[in-house]
Amino acid sequence: MHVSSAHINVKPCYGVKRRCVLSSHLSHFNVCTGYPPDVAHDIFEGIVPVGLAHCLNHFISKKYFTLVSLNESILKFPYKWADKSNRPHAIPRTFMLKKTIGGNAHENWSLLRFLPFLVGQLVPPNEPAWQVILDLKDIVELVVAPVHTAQSLAFLEARICDHRCRLQKVFPGIKLIPKHHFVEHYPQMIRFFGPLVSLWTMRFEAKHSFFKQVVRHTRCFKHILLSLAVKHQFMMAYYLESNTTKKSSLTVSAVSTVSVDILHQDVQKVLKLKYPDITHVQLTKTASVHGVTYRGGMIVACGSTCGLPDFAEVVQMVVVEGSLSFIVKEFGAWYREHFRAFELCPTSQVSLIQLGALVDQYPLADYWIAGYRMVTLKRFIHIQG
């Protein structure tokens, strides 16, 4: 119909109607390659809720668990630290009528991360639909990675292909949405733009939350755009004139100064090797660096063995000459495919690790699942060497 109307009508009525204004004024801009995709809408509010809806309905129909028991597990799971604020929502009863579980990007991301912990032990390892979820989890971890290599992009390409083929095989009647096709171009888009997580709309959503709060508090819609602009200028003026812009990148709380001699011998050796004349250090249980908060009990990735990350538990943090280091208990780690998580095996090794030596800057939380202490990654970790 559109093709036939194009021959009859002189003026375009569908599709592209005019030349992009950016192409007219920017010599290096191309309309086909100049717009990076948005991970939040394509994946976390696109293929993830759709894929989870089909898989969860499949599991429930096979009586691995019920919707009620799943929602109870979601609500009662002992989330820690940042996971508490981004905990997944309960699955609505009408999710299969809509063919999506709904939810916002952070909730769906968390649900996909924690689903192996919530129901993994109830689903058989050879269940094809479970492999669909695990493939989707791998894709998410790769897409939100801050660093990519030729190998990681090739792996992402393979995982996307595997996921689509397996999804159509397990659910022959599924109707793929356009975002399934968009995601297939992600490896090439990463080559064009770099890590897509740096270009997603989450920061715009966070900025937009300020304006939503202003509207709720003022309760007046007369000249609302002017009100929003004025309030925003007041906020920016406050932050520019306050001392918050001059703060150090490192902030700590509840600091105590102790002698180096009372620390663990392994920690003393490392400290005196780097700071030969040091006699006292500052200890803290909470520290924040560039907005990332570290606390005692958190898990950090601090090295690698045979291509897999090594993990350690933060016991305390040491501040020496304005730099942050961690006193940690090291773990051995085994990768469990069925949970897409690492089982942590405690060791007697205590060591000191500098912030810059971490494989990934973001701390993790460990959970006891089926008698095992496990940790799941939020994003793919690039290991040097």
Instruction: Return the pLDDT at 343.
Output: 93
Distance CA 294, CA 300 (A): 9
CATH architecture of 250-375: Roll (2.30)
Give me the pLDDT at residue 18, please: 75
pLDDT score of 248: 64
Task: Report H helices in the chain.
Answer: 2-8, 21-25, 39, 48-61, 67-76, 82-85, 95-98, 105-119, 128-143, 150-170, 178-184, 186-193, 202-218, 224-241, 265-274
Which two three-digit tokens encode residue 236?
Answer: 């920016």
Mean pLDDT of 32-49: 88
Let me know: does 337 contact 376? Beta carbons within 8 Å.
no
Domain ranges in the chain are: 39-198, 202-246, 250-375
Answer yes or no: is pLDDT of 60 > 90: yes
pLDDT for 251: 83
Give the per-residue pLDDT at 208.
86
* pTM attached to this predicted model: 0.85
Nearest alpha-carbon partner for 283 in 240, 254, 241: 254
pLDDT of residue 357: 86
The model's pLDDT over 226-268, given as tens digits with 9 standing for 90+, comes to 999 999 999 999 888 876 555 567 888 878 888 888 887 878 8
Q: Which amino acid is it at 258?
A: V
pLDDT of residue 158: 94
Which burial class, exposed, middle or buried, applies to 301 when counting CB atoms under 10 A from its CB (0-12, 13-18, 19+)? buried
Q: What is the DSSP letter of 106?
A: H
In the chain, what percentage of residues exceed pLDDT 90? 43
Of the pLDDT bands very low, low, confident and very high (cuts 50, 70, 90), residue 209 is confident
- Give the pLDDT confidence score for residue 253 in this predicted structure: 80
What whole-number distance in Å separates Cα of residue 7 and Cα of residue 22? 28
pLDDT tens per residue, range 93-148: 998 888 899 888 889 999 999 999 999 999 998 999 999 999 999 999 999 999 89
pLDDT for the residue numbered 121: 92
In angstroms, the CA 35 to CA 91 distance is: 33
Cα–Cα distance list, 303 to 136, 333, 358 (Å): 26, 11, 7
Q: Give every CB contact of residue 31 below 8 A, 6+ residues apart in sequence.
A: 20, 22, 23
**pLDDT band at residue 162 under the 50/70/90 scheme:** very high
C-alpha separations of 286 from 107, 155, 330, 353 in Å: 26, 37, 19, 16
pLDDT at 342 over 70: yes
